[in-house]
Amino acid sequence: MHYRTATEEDAPRLLRLYKAVSRVRDGIARLEHEVTEEYIHKILHNSITRGLMVVAEHPDNPDELVADMHGYTMGLEIFKHLITDVTVCVHPDFQGRKIGRTILTIFLDEIVRNRPEIGKVELIAREGNLRAIHLYQSVGFRIEGRLEMRIRMADGTYEADIPMGWQNPSFEFDMP
């Protein structure tokens, strides 16, 4: 499996990946019709210009992606130390192979080594996605709250979102 940072040329590959993942439960927080070229171009542009996107190429076909992790800063001075809007996306056919853990580790290592201005990475996991929550905790994310009744499920029930944060050990937070 080849992991690398994303480029603008990855847009069509990302669109196919996100469409596939949007079709499965616990995939991403978008329905298939919400995964548009515009959405892909937005996350790709924001990640390249204000954040980071790591992708995993298909082992047998480098023209396809099997995973991505991305996030970016908000563009506001008071939040410049945060990477947020983080998404981890692994193709359903490649889940359970530690690709999510690997891409998450590569993403965080890149921040530790090359992004000293980033102090924290934030993400939100759906409360029912325990596999993801446990994965994030295993690499150092901590649960930072609970946003009740935030996700409306396909069956009409509601679930909470779980905000989680990871602090960059290379960042020095100024304490008053």
For residue 128, the one-letter residue type is G
Residue 133 within any structural domain of the chain: yes
Residue 86 within any structural domain of the chain: yes
Residue 176 within any structural domain of the chain: no
Q: Is the pLDDT of residue 31 over 90?
A: no
Amino acid 176: pLDDT: 57
- Structural domains counted in the chain: 1
Summarize the confidence of residues 14-21 as an average pLDDT. Answer: 96
* pLDDT tens for each residue of 56-86: 999 999 899 999 999 999 999 999 999 999 9
For the chain, percent of residues with pLDDT exceeding 70:
99
Longest Cα separation, the chain: 53
Q: Is the pLDDT of residue 2 over 70?
A: yes
Give pTM, 2 decimals: 0.92
Residue 123 within any structural domain of the chain: yes
CA neighbor of 4 nearest in space, from 72, 60, 66, 49? 66
Q: Residue 120 is inside which H or E element, if any?
A: strand 120-126
CATH number of the domain that residue 18 is part of: 3.40.630.30
3-state helix, strand, coil in the chain (%, to 5): 35, 30, 35
Q: Is the pLDDT of residue 43 over 70?
A: yes
Which residue range(s) make up the domain with 9? 2-167
Residue 174 within any structural domain of the chain: no
Q: Is the pLDDT of residue 160 over 60?
A: yes
Residue 128 within any structural domain of the chain: yes
Residue 17 within any structural domain of the chain: yes
* pLDDT tens for each residue of 93-138: 999 999 999 999 999 999 999 999 999 999 999 999 999 999 999 9
Q: Which two tokens stand for residue 29?
A: 């927080």
Residue 95 within any structural domain of the chain: yes
